[in-house]
Structure 1
Amino acid sequence: MPAADHDLQSRSDEIGRMARRRSLRVAAAESLTSGAIASAIGRGEEASEWFAGGVVAYAESVKRDVLGVTATSVLTAQCARELATGVANLLDAEVAVAVTGVGGPEPEEGLPPGTVYAAVCVGDEVTEATWRFEGDPSAVVDRTVLAALGLVHRALAT
């Protein structure tokens, strides 16, 4: 198993253990990663007990109409926060992670490729992160998935 896959698996398993221990359901809302975070989370031990599911909100209309995003731009920290809270409400989850950003290879809205906005909510508390990853779009997605799982892990560890 490649190191990145091992890291994802161990992180997903640990998220699952923490969520089960606290009786929490986890959800994901994804734009940039097109379901890769949900796929990684779903690999976690006994995921059917704690993983509510995910929404791939690639189209702006899905972000707005399904998850309630009101941010002027969907490439902002505000959008990531609203994606996280929107999917938590939609899927009745106590924990939700969301990502949006510019995978590349070209800039969007003046943001360089690899710009990622993420948020995780645990109950009413929302934590956000902004990252800048180098590499082609595939590498940006891979790094985003691992970073997003780290964000969930840290939020559950507190």
Structure 2
Amino acid sequence: MSERAQQLADAAKERGIRIAVAESLTCGLLASGLGEGTDTESWFAGGVIAYQTAVKESVLGVRPGIDPCSAECAEQLARGVRGLLDVDVAVATTGVGGPDPQDGHPPGTVFLGWETADGSGHRELALSGSPEEILDQTVERAIALLDELVGD
């Protein structure tokens, strides 16, 4: 577990905050990274891997026709998993890992969505590297965002 992920785990456990994730781009890597820590069951409720558009829509309530590589999709994914798993904080990942562009978006175009009881939002990232590097960077950024949200 990374140092940042351990900080997140400690803060979430200390504050009694439950976390969930919705993953498209990262396809389970974020949940796997979060699950490496001790006492994970006390703060990490789980996640939903929604790679296909139909799953995003039917399981997490993403509105049909939304660009899957967009801020709007990322926020709706986070909102959907927060409601589905009844947690305090949710983060979602979506975007293009590469190596090729997809639907007019260059590789490394990534959106992180988040939702808490106080509101929702997103971060747009322009990452570079191989597909593996883009996925690793996305997971690192998502953990950093969760750490910020839990620490606030």
Report TM bin, short chain: over 0.9
Is the aligned partner of 1:68 residue 2:61?
Answer: yes
Percent identical pairs in the alignment equals 42
Q: Quick check: 2:17–2:150 contact (8 Å CA) kept in 1? A: no
Provide the C-alpha distance between the structure 1 equivalents of 2:72 and 2:94, rounded to a whole number of angstroms: 10
Unaligned runs of 5+ in 2: none
Q: Quick check: 2:71–2:122 contact (8 Å CA) kept in 1? A: yes
Residue equivalent to 2:115: 121
Is the aligned partner of 1:132 residue 2:117?
Answer: no
Is the aligned partner of 1:56 residue 2:81?
Answer: no
Provide the C-alpha distance between the structure 1 equivalents of 2:4 and 2:114, rounded to a whole number of angstroms: 15
Is the aligned partner of 1:14 residue 2:14?
Answer: no
1:8-157 aligned at under 5 Å gives the runs 8-70=1-63, 72-157=66-151
- Which amino acid counterpart does residue 51 of structure 2 have in structure 1? Y
TM-score by length of 2: 0.94
Q: Which stretches of structure 1, 4 residues or longer, exceed 3 Å deviation after superposition? A: none
Shift of 1:120: 1.8
- Which amino acid counterpart does residue 114 of structure 1 have in structure 2? G
Provide the C-alpha distance between the structure 1 equivalents of 2:28 and 2:103, rounded to a whole number of angstroms: 23
- Which amino acid counterpart does residue 135 of structure 1 have in structure 2? G
Shift of 1:109: 1.7
Question: Residue 54 of structure 1: SS of its match in structure 2?
Answer: strand
TM-score by length of 1: 0.91
Provide the C-alpha distance between the structure 1 equivalents of 2:68 and 2:104, rounded to a whole number of angstroms: 13
Shift of 1:30: 0.3
- Which amino acid counterpart does residue 17 of structure 1 have in structure 2? D
What count of residue pairs does the alignment treat as equivalent?
Answer: 151
